[in-house]
Chains A and B, each alone.
Chain A
Amino acid sequence: MTMPALRAALAAALSVPLALAAPAASVAWAADDDPAKVGPVKIGMVTTLSTKAGYLGADVRDGFRLAIKQGGGALGGVPVNLLVEDDDRDPGKGREIAERFVTRDDVKIMTGIIFSNVALAVIPKVVKDGVIYVSPNAGPSQLAGKGCHPYHFNVAWQNDNLHEAMGQYATDAGFERMVILAPNYPAGKDALAGFKRFYTGGTVVSEVYTTLGQSDYAAEIAGIRNAEPDAVFFFLPGGMGINFMKQVHQAGLGESVQLIGSGFSADHKLLNAVGAAADGMLNSAQWSPDLDTPVNAAFVAAYRAEYDAVPTIYSQQGYDAALAIGAALEATGGDLSDLDAFAAALKQADFASPRGDFRFGTNNFPVQDIYLRKAVMDPDGTLRNEVQGVIFEDHVDAYAAACAMK
């Protein structure tokens, strides 16, 4: 929901610095002695910047832009021009933008989509049309299994991975009675299925489905108290999760029941909107701002310096999408005439990710560690995630076997 006129005005305002920067970049490139390749490589980013979930897309974009800035306007030494458009979380609009990128701008590399419903409308179409797509977020099962494609890569996770990790954690932690809860829609059902796939340590005493967009959880919380579980696993993206955590705390359940969930319910922006009620929440993610590696420390410091904000997992995913593309551009010298060669170079994943070890599996989805994180409160009252340990090492998604690629 946006005001198109206002958006157009904003877009116009934003495009001024881009327009100013573009000639400078092409001048630099023209100095190169190869006249056949004039102009930077265009990368089309279809992402969600409006709606309530708009900060996800904004963080992906900011992470991606940071990598370009660090390369001096280039990725892997090849000058790039990032085109960003807002899909409004609308599959039809996403498809429209993608088609415009292909026909008008002759884009060969795309990225950016946040939501799986948009991804399913766009990705199968563009990879068929000869575009390399690097997903910084959405990883629906349909594209990981039978629908895998040599031109489609995902640098984030397959949608189920973080939920699976919490299922494994609940087993490891010896939780014998679980209540699990998600909205009644496909991603909610997938989340609970992912959790149950690795939860073998006890019984799910109650599986609760809420209405999408529900704001009051008093009825469900009373039911949780009555079921007396050891822990509650929930998948309630965005504002729904904030509402739920606040209300659980106010019902006095915070002490007796451990809340666990995926990193989607627990980036520090959400945690700080929940406040003290989120203290101690356990969650899973492929990365955390406090991961103690030199690459990660440099990334977090650069991101803070650039945007005066702590990066979220979405920032890291956007950053890694840019690094992955950069590595392939470097290996191919920016030559996009042979996309098969470019895809082969991309698959090497020859870049240093802030998350640590990373490679693509046979289906071009990540093979990576999943960490356990805990929300902790700093003395000044702000909440942040702290890594507790590794739940999965080199985790491969459940659909890779169904992919025909080798």
Chain B
Amino acid sequence: MLLFIEQVLNGLQLGVMLFLMASGLTLVFGIMGLINLAHGSLYMIGAYVAATVTAFTGSFLLGLLAAVPAAALVGAVIERGVMRHLYDRDHLDQVLATFGLILFFNELMVILWGRQPLFMAIPEALSGTVELLPGVPYPVYRLVIIAVGLLVALGLWGLIARTRLGMRIRAGASDRETADALGVNIALLYTGVFALGAALAALAGAMAGPLLAVEAGMGESILILTFVVVVIGGIGSVRGALAGALLVGLVDTLGRAFLPQVLRLVTDDATADGAGASLAAMAIYILMAAVLVWRPKGLFPAHG
């Protein structure tokens, strides 16, 4: 039972991380109608900048504070330089162009930082573990990630539901031309939304830095999961991204943790370990297929 609680926390933490990625992706996808494969590159840029600044200054907070605006700036430049020319094009063109950006950024990181993965330490104050329940020591840092992610979710909800900017974002999402005719500066709004998405991806990347290897190509492994989250949650819906992210995080983690044991009940250990691992890897895709059969537009579709 204690193990189960611990694994649920692990699932939540993965889910929160996925939410930070998925919220930006779903906004860009839903509002601009743009498929951005290079979202993982912004995550990677966040991690690299955070690792470098942290190593240089010794302060994780400064690293975080540098990474987020840096990635937002890169995001704004990408939007103005590349994405702007893709809005009226086919999705396939967008996929090709943004895939090109992935290759470009991966090579750029190698040229700037070299192939050796960067080291990024956990801030002293957040290292170590706490006993949430007796016998369940849990890393403080992972709890902090959960807290930050939930705060960001709350902040995003406030921004979109309660502010004028949020109103414009919603207006731009439901009818681009009418919003434009009513005097909303769509071009600026799009740049802003893209930069916001980039900033959230960089926050995720910077926070993942101490847990993961900071290396070129690190964005791709999380990107696929992020797309699954966006599809499950409903394209364009931040609420859906949150629900989808937590669902994917939990299913993936609990599947990896318990499927081999469950299979051991019905077959021999060696077969169960191998088959359990394979099934666990498939679990989120099975979940996605099931959700799509039940609700073809995702859990919380943004449009209609």
Q: Please give the residue numbers on chain A whose beta carbons come within 8 Å of chain B beta carbons, in ascending order.
A: 1-3, 6, 51-52, 54-55, 58, 184, 206-211, 213-216, 218-220, 222-223, 226, 238-240, 242-243, 246-247, 250-252, 269-270, 272-276
Contacts and interface: CB of A to CB of B under 8 A. Distances in A.
Contacts of B269: 207
Interface of B: 3, 6-7, 10-11, 13-14, 17, 102-104, 106-107, 110, 115-119, 121-122, 127-129, 137, 139, 141-142, 208, 210-218, 221-222, 253-254, 256-257, 260, 269-270, 273-274, 276-278, 280-281
Contacts of B254: 219
Contact of A218 (B10, B127, B214, B216): B10
B253 A239 contact: no
Contacts of A222: 3, 6-7, 10, 257
B215 A239 contact: yes
B211 A216 contact: yes
Contacts of B210: 246, 250
Contacts of A211: 277, 280-281
A163 to B, nearest CB: 17
A52 B215 contact: yes
Given A239-B218, A273-B118, A215 B212 contact: yes
A207 B263 CA distance: 13
A223 B273 CA distance: 13
Contacts of B119: 272-275
23 contacts: A1-B102, A3-B104, A184-B274, A184-B281, A209-B274, A211-B280, A214-B221, A216-B212, A218-B13, A218-B142, A219-B256, A220-B257, A222-B10, A223-B3, A239-B218, A243-B211, A246-B212, A250-B141, A269-B117, A272-B116, A273-B117, A273-B118, A273-B213
Contacts of A239: 117, 212-213, 215, 218
A275 B121 contact: yes
A5 to B, nearest CB: 10
Interface centre among B11, B115, B141, B281 (most CB of A within 10 A): B115
B257 A219 contact: yes
Interface centre among A54, A214, A219, A223 (most CB of B within 10 A): A219
A1 B122 CA distance: 30
Contacts of A240: 213
Contacts of B110: 54
Interface centre among A214, A226, A273 (most CB of B within 10 A): A273
Contacts of A3: 103-104, 107
A206 B215 CA distance: 30
A226 B119 CA distance: 29
Contact of B273 (A208, A242, A276): A208
A250 B117 contact: no
Nearest to A210: B277
Contacts of B122: 250
B7 A242 contact: no
Contacts of A52: 115, 215-217
Interface centre among A2, A222, A242, A243 (most CB of B within 10 A): A222
Given A239-B215, A247-B211, 11 more contacts: A3-B107, A52-B215, A218-B142, A219-B10, A239-B212, A239-B213, A243-B213, A252-B137, A252-B139, A269-B117, A273-B213
Contacts of B14: 216, 218
A273 B7 CA distance: 27
B118 A1 contact: no
B103 A252 contact: no
Given A222-B10, A226-B3, A1 B256 contact: no
The 4 closest A-B pairs by CB, nearest first: A209-B277, A239-B213, A218-B10, A242-B213
A223 B280 CA distance: 15
Contact of A1 (B106, B260, B278): B106
A273 B116 contact: yes
B129 A215 contact: no
A145 to B, nearest CB: 23
Nearest to B215: A239
Nearest to B278: A184
A338 B184 CA distance: 79
Nearest to A273: B117
Contact of B217 (A1, A6, A184, A226): A1
B222 A215 contact: yes
Nearest to A58: B115
Interface centre among A210, A214, A216 (most CB of B within 10 A): A216
